[in-house]
Amino acid sequence: QIFLPKKIVLLFFFCFFSVLSIAQLNITPQTTANALAQSLVGTGITISNVTFTGNPLMAGYFRAQNNAGLGIDTGIVLTNGRAKTTGGNTGVNDDAGQLASTGWSLAGDANLATAISSPVGDLHDACILEFDFVPLGDSIKFNYVFSSEEYTPAFACPDLSGGGYNDAFAFFISGPGFPTLQNIALVPGTSLPVSIFNVNNVPDFSGTALCPNNPTYYVDNPSNAYFSHDGHTTVLRALAVVQPCQTYHLKLVISDVGDGVWDSGVFLEAGSLSSNILALTTVTDLDTSGINYLVEGCRPGTITIKRQSITPFPQVVNLYYNGTAINGVDVQTLPPSVTIPANQDSVLLNLIPIVDNVEEGIELLEISNLPPCASTGSPQNTIIIQIRDYDTLTIGPGRNPDTAFICRNAVLPLVANSGYTNYDWTPNINLSNANIQNPLATLTDSIANYFCTATVGTCVAKDSLNIKWKQIWLQSKTDILCNNGTTGKILVRTSTGWQAPVVFQANSGAWQSSPLFNNLSEGNYVVRVKDASGCMDSIVVNLVQSYPDLLVNAIDTTFASCSGNPDATITIQAGGGRTPYTYSINNGTVSTPFQASNIFNVLQGNYTITIKDANGCIVTDLRT
């Protein structure tokens, strides 16, 4: 097979996408080595003694809008060529059709040469950023992407690369636990260094991978308008196990191998160089709200102080105590520090509350670890634990924690937690036995409160239960307005605790879901309520007529002066009911409108007299 050294595309394609690349992958040349390194630093790391080796144009800051396919938004780039495209000199922020290939005539790096088993004279244009660092935790990590113009068919495979040379890079760490330099830029899950040969899925011109190796971590980049290198890795993570508070050295190096051109680069994510911090977790009891608690004489607890991984080094953890609970007074004395042993990832701190037989209410014990590299400083990872005078006793089972609802005059079994030797229920009235775990309570009133104290050894537990009858009450009623009327209403309400569905009945009528009864006549009504459990309660409601019967007390008449004259009179006297009254008469054919006056001028004849009161009640009489 014959492979071209670089893709050939039209000039206008180069120019068009070179303009776009400036907007999508922005490169800013480095200012100082220290600023470059500091941009990598995240939580739990301090750095010092920063040095940079190489041409300043080989490194810089990058910002990748829309990631430019990198998977990292911001950070620094180190390259054995040119970081930023300038004029006709192609850097990493150019079209993939352009060849980034700058020779600086600089030396290689001896450590990198040893790592790849190559003569140092075969290495060129080394770019090196190195510094000391102190981790706060027991491990470090940072994220990166390796890229190269040598991810092409001509260089991707050892048997095609003309002697097996291609660009190389490494992240060397040294310090306690690392007697020699160790490269932590490794293929995930292996001890293989990340390189063009070890992470590869470059296709030939038919699209077939030439020599795939760990292809999951490879991204081909044949036509990216924003990023010039022909291929790159996915975002990888460098990891190392370290000793907290010890000084280490990190050397980041990339170099040409075999030739001084065809650039490669490594992009490191800003703020990703970090060290884990300790975690504090409790193995105490949790209440129903998820709160950690201890109980004097009953429930001790344990805190687990955990680091991220098992290491061969012990780790001292300085502790800080605060809160209303006093170390040595409310809890057995806790140490100022603990040590996580070598080859373990955690240590336990036992918490034993002191029984002082004093009711103090809930006290709070706050436990934190201090910054690992100092015995003072702001507390970290605070955990809060309640210290209680009494354990929580549950009276049940299957009830609301505080209240039980029962049928009127029912017998209720009171059942406290088992596991205690002594029980004391108060008040001891209406109980079958006040000194057993499960007495029977017979209520003679609608509400009662019972308290139980249970003990076993030094452990004291308390709880209370409020017992209520399920009840029905009259909400409102509307009495009858008129004699033989059906305008009565009854509205009832119920206490809480009834189990749905709840239905209601008046006398022997049909059961209904509504507590309102309409169209009732005068009389006594037994209103009942019933729930899904079969529990019932009832009340008696009496509906009466609100006003006395409306009556025609008297009707006075006078005769007409002559037959046919409308000067006869009818005068009506009403009583009872509710004033004011209105009146109407009917001659057998026509009724007059109701009027306030009780006097009518009429023709001689027979008339039906009608009286209506303010309630709308009506009474009639006949008069000639």
99 and 129 both lie in a single domain: yes
Residues 478 and 355 occupy one common structural domain = no
Residues 219 and 184 in one domain: yes
Q: Residue 286's pLDDT band (boundaries 50, 70, 90)?
A: low
Q: How many structural domains compose the chain?
A: 5
Q: Which pLDDT does position 8 carry in this prediction? A: 35
Q: Residue 575 belongs to a domain with what CATH number? A: 2.60.40
β-strand 380-388 against 292-295: which pairing, if any?
parallel
Is residue 3, in this structure, part of any structural domain at all? no
pLDDT value of residue 375: 62
Work out the percent of the chain whose per-residue pLDDT is above 70. Answer: 92
Between CA 338 and CA 321 the distance in angstroms is 13
Provide Rg for the chain, Cα atoms: 47
Residues 592 and 533 both lie in one domain: no
Q: Is the pLDDT of residue 4 over 50?
A: no
Across residues 356-375, what is the average pLDDT? Answer: 88
Residues 99 and 116 in one domain: yes
Is there a domain that residue 141 lies in? yes
Average pLDDT over residues 245-274: 94
The domain boundary residue, chosen from 221, 253, 275: 275
Range of 18's domain? 12-275
Q: In whole angstroms, give the CA distance from residue 382 to residue 51.
A: 38
* Residue 2 included in any domain: no
> 1 in a domain, yes or no?
no
The residue among 469, 492, 527 that closes a domain is 469
Report pLDDT digits (tens) over 445-459: 888 899 999 999 999
The total of other beta-carbon atoms located within 10 Å of residue 357's CB is 9
Same domain as 256, residue 124: yes
At 139-177, the pLDDT tens digits run 999 999 999 999 998 888 876 655 556 899 999 999 999
Same domain, 489 and 521: yes
User: Does the pLDDT of residue 400 top 60, yes or no?
Assistant: no
pLDDT-derived band at 11 (thresholds 50, 70, 90) equals very low
Assess whether pLDDT exceeds 90 at residue 270. Answer: yes
74 and 101 belong to one structural domain: yes
Q: Which class for 611: exposed (0-12), middle (13-18), buried (19 or more C-beta within 10 A)?
A: buried
Q: Which residue has the higher pLDDT, 358 or 145?
A: 145
Rounded Cα distance, 372 and 317, in Å: 6
Domain stop point among 389, 407, 436: 389
In percent, the amount of the chain with pLDDT more than 90 equals 67
Specify the higher pLDDT residue, 261 or 346. Answer: 346
**Long-range contacts at 395-398 (CB < 8 A, ≥ 24 apart):** 395/450, 395/452, 395/463, 395/464, 395/465
| Residue at 289 is within a domain | yes
Give pLDDT tens digits for 547-556.
Answer: 999 999 999 9
pLDDT at position 7 = 38
Give the separation between CA 96 and CA 74, rounded to whole angstroms: 20
Most confident of 413-422, 523-532, 546-555, 581-590: 523-532
Specify whether the CB–CB gap between 448 and 441 falls below 8 A. yes
| Position with higher pLDDT, 402 vs 58 | 58
Closest CA to 240 of 185, 317, 315, 169: 185
* Residue 10 pLDDT > 70: no
Q: Are residues 531 and 561 in the same domain?
A: no
214, 357: one domain = no
Average pLDDT, the chain: 89
pLDDT at residue number 401: 63
Among 4-8, 192-196, 314-318, 379-383, name the one with the lowest average pLDDT.
4-8
Give the pLDDT band (50/70/90) at residue 372: confident
Residue 326 and residue 269 share a domain: no
Residues listed for the chain: 624
* pLDDT at residue 21 in the model: 38
Residue 5 maps to a domain: no
Task: Show the beta-strand stretches assigned E in 401-471.
Answer: 403-406, 411-413, 415-416, 422-426, 440-442, 447-456, 459-469
Confirm whether 6 is domain-assigned. Answer: no
Q: Among 12-16, 26-30, 229-233, 276-280, which stretch is predicted with the lowest mean pLDDT?
A: 12-16
Report how far residue 109's alpha carbon sits from residue 180's, in angstroms, rounded to the nearest whole number. 16
On whether both 329 and 212 belong to a single domain, the answer is no
Provide the CATH number for the domain around residue 428: 2.60.40.10
Phi-psi region of 155 (alpha: psi -120 to 50; beta: other; left: phi over 0): alpha
Output 46 or 307, whichever has higher pLDDT. Answer: 46
Max Cα distance, the chain (Å)? 152
Residue 449 has a CB neighbour count (10 Å cut-off) of 12
CATH for 336: 2.60.40.2030
Name the nearest CA neighbour of 552 among 569, 589, 577: 577
Task: Look at residues 208, 209, 192 and name the one whose alpha carbon lies nearest to residue 200.
Answer: 209
